[in-house]
Chain A
Amino acid sequence: MTRAEPLVLGIETSCDETGIGIVRGRTLLSNTIASSMDEHARYGGVVPEVAARAHLEALQPAIEAAVAEAGITLEKLDAVAVTSGPGLAGALMVGVGAAKALAVSLGKPLYAVNHLVGHIAADILTGDEVEYPTVALLVSGGHTSLLLVRDLVSDVELLGETLDDAAGEAFDKIARILGLPYPGGPEIDRAAAGGDPNAIRFPRGLTRASDMAEHRYDFSFSGLKTAVARWVEQAAAAGSPVATADVAASFREAVVDVLVSKALDACDRHGVPRLLLGGGVIANRRLREVALERADAAGVAVRIPPLSLCTDNGAMIAALAAQLVASGHAPSTLAFGADSTLPVTEIQVARGDA
């Protein structure tokens, strides 16, 4: 194996995307994604059993498509990588079962890795030199986490995370309150066009001085959700039409404000002038706008990988494993499972030499 540039296939099944990625070192060869999002639309959110069934169906064709796109054969692989957690347990298990069998079948080493750290690793596939330390803000329907990354393969610290809903879930729930379809992110964005983001001052969770000691970098969106629901109910009760554009814009502004404020605060207090964004909610245009604007004013450089690498994908899992290989980490043993609450400090699971 060429240790500096290993050829790795990554399998990601932590939520509703079946992601198969193939990388050679820092070079992306395939980022194949099969999403079951449409199947969840009628339920207004990801249904774990529906997601797990879809993973099983999508896995084999996705691996075949990725291999074809990358122009490789499986025997050429230097390693197989898989997400061990965090995520939906039943969904993760499909990927873990497949990855172990593929590794044994091929006689190749297996790297079981952390999904969240994978999101950070996505950035190394952009072709630019990544500088550490960096603060990372990972926002999706499954997680909202603020991390301090000193070294991708050995030192990732959790600064804070959501105490209730993930930001993406908050978008989905508010969309439902406003009578908009799933997924909520793009719908809220559309509804907010032309709305006044300052029309209604919705609460910013965990930003009061009294929250700062314990939850400086944590997030909470349940109070915001309740405030929006109450506002809409009261408008309806008063017989006044709900100003959907204003509500959507003001809600979105509250979410974006908290996310960006806390991320830049972390940059400031840790003396790290770099912020990496990841996760599917990064697709939100307003979030990117505000982050870039305020980071610029604060002298913080922002990195945003292309959207296809921000949403859940297998390439980021392969990329992380490639870095583990390059830094001489031994592969994982076969004795690991899915860990739905895997802490971010566990970058690699069941490491053979640890």
Chain B
Amino acid sequence: MILGIDTSLGTAVAVVEADGVVRAEASSDNPLGHAEAIGTLLEAALADAAHGAIGQTGAPEPVTLTHVAAGMGPGPFTGLRVGIAAARAFALGRALPVIAVPSHDAAALGFLLGEALADPFAEPGRFAVVTDARRREFAYSVYDGLDDDGIPVRVAGPALTPRADIDDVLAEAGAARRDVTTIPAAMIAALAGRALTAGRELTGPEPLYLRAPDVTLPAAPKRVGA
């Protein structure tokens, strides 16, 4: 089983079986308060996972995790880091490997699976996952269906654009806009499972900050006058 954690928007935790069956999901949509929420959500998801797949109420059985999947953003930095730190520390505690997952890719997988369920023969068009990046900017990634490994094909992004420009940018890319306010941790874990099966790495260990730290080099000391 894979533990998925994402704090790029709200705070989300899920436990998913190797074949993608979701065991447990616990999340808070609050765009703040990640550090406050993460511990309780982890505890809840793990307890829940012991009762079998969602909807089932079997007798508790041990939850044997094999990996921890971390949503790497993009997202507001302060919150984003909480989930990555939590994923790494949880993994250390159980001697498990961490799988880094771009958060937009997980949202895209969620869309594509949802569409496939609704109509297995539909050709999903090109679309963009769009999330709030604060400072009057959006973060976006453009996708074009699933590849043979069942992994969303990201053809552009993640990148930032001024909010006023997003529709032009997406029109240029020929992508339908999909605004996203939550990242499902179950999709973080499910996508990690697909990457694992395919032997692929989705992103490196660096968070997808997309912005350098906001710093200015110090000017010469201010004059204090005579």
Residue of chain A at shortest CB distance from B213: A49
Q: Which of B18-34 contact A (CB under 8 A)?
A: 33-34
- Which one, B34, B82, B217, B224, contacts A226 given CB within 8 A? B224
A235 within 8 A of B: no
B-contact 0/1 string along A44-83, CB 8 Å cutoff: 1101011011011001100110000000001000000000
Stretch from A101-109, A261-269, A309-317 contacting the other chain: A101-109
Given contacts A94-B81, A97-B38, A337-B36, contact A176 B226 (CB under 8 A): no
Query: How many residues on the B side are at the interface (Cβ–Cβ under 8 A)?
Result: 42
A270 within 8 A of B: no
Query: In whole angstroms, what is the CA distance A95 to B94 when docked?
Result: 18
Q: Which of B38-53 contact A (CB under 8 A)?
A: 38-40, 42-43, 46
Query: In whole angstroms, what is the CA distance A41 to B47 when docked?
Result: 46
Contact between B226 and A230, CB atoms less than 8 A apart: yes
Contact between B90 and A50, CB atoms less than 8 A apart: no
Q: How many A-B residue pairs have CB under 8 A?
A: 135
Q: Which of B82-103 contact A (CB under 8 A)?
A: 82-94
Contact between B224 and A230, CB atoms less than 8 A apart: yes
B77 within 8 A of A: yes
Query: In whole angstroms, what is the CA distance A335 to B42 when docked?
Result: 12
Query: In whole angstroms, what is the CA distance A42 to B216 when docked?
Result: 10
- Which one, A63, A90, A104, contacts B92 given CB within 8 A? A63
Closest chain-B Cβ to A38's Cβ sits at a distance in Å of 14
Query: In whole angstroms, what is the CA distance A336 to B34 when docked?
Result: 10
B221 within 8 A of A: yes
- Which one, A49, A97, A334, A335, contacts B34 given CB within 8 A? A97
On chain A, the residues within 8 Å of B86 by CB distance are 97-98, 100-101
A229 within 8 A of B: yes
Contact between B218 and A93, CB atoms less than 8 A apart: no
Query: In whole angstroms, what is the CA distance A177 to B220 when docked?
Result: 8
Most A CB contacts (10 A, CB to CB) among B85, B88, B92, B214 go to B85
Q: Which of B169-226 contact A (CB under 8 A)?
A: 207, 209, 213-218, 221-226
B78 within 8 A of A: yes
A139 within 8 A of B: no
On chain A, the residues within 8 Å of B54 by CB distance are none
Question: Taking chain B's interface residues, is the majority helix, strand, or loop, or is none over half, making it mixed?
Answer: helix
On chain B, the residues within 8 Å of A90 by CB distance are 77-78, 81
- Which one, B85, B215, B223, contacts A97 given CB within 8 A? B85
B35 within 8 A of A: yes
A23 within 8 A of B: no
On chain A, the residues within 8 Å of B7 by CB distance are 97
Given contacts A52-B77, A56-B85, A101-B42, contact A106 B93 (CB under 8 A): yes
Query: In whole angstroms, what is the CA distance A32 to B82 when docked?
Result: 21
Query: In whole angstroms, what is the CA distance A99 to B209 when docked?
Result: 23
Contact between A176 and B85, CB atoms less than 8 A apart: no
A338 within 8 A of B: yes
Query: In whole angstroms, what is the CA distance A100 to B90 when docked?
Result: 9
Query: In whole angstroms, what is the CA distance A102 to B216 when docked?
Result: 35
Contact between A52 and B89, CB atoms less than 8 A apart: no
Contact between B89 and A233, CB atoms less than 8 A apart: no
Contact between A47 and B38, CB atoms less than 8 A apart: no
Query: In whole angstroms, what is the CA distance A98 to B5 when docked?
Result: 12
- Which one, A47, A103, A233, A337, contacts B213 given CB within 8 A? A47
Extra inter-chain contacts (12) besides given A101-B38, A101-B89, A334-B39, CB under 8 Å: A53-B81, A63-B89, A92-B35, A97-B34, A97-B81, A101-B93, A104-B42, A104-B90, A105-B92, A105-B94, A106-B93, A337-B35
Among all A-B residue pairs, the 9 with the closest Cβ atoms: A105-B93, A334-B39, A100-B39, A101-B86, A97-B82, A98-B89, A49-B213, A101-B90, A337-B36
**13 sample A-B contacts, Cβ–Cβ < 8 Å, listed by A number:** A47-B213, A49-B213, A52-B77, A60-B88, A93-B78, A93-B81, A97-B38, A101-B88, A104-B93, A176-B218, A226-B224, A233-B223, A335-B36
Q: Which residues of chain B have a CB within 8 Å of any CB of chain A?
A: 5, 7, 33-36, 38-40, 42-43, 46, 77-78, 81-94, 207, 209, 213-218, 221-226
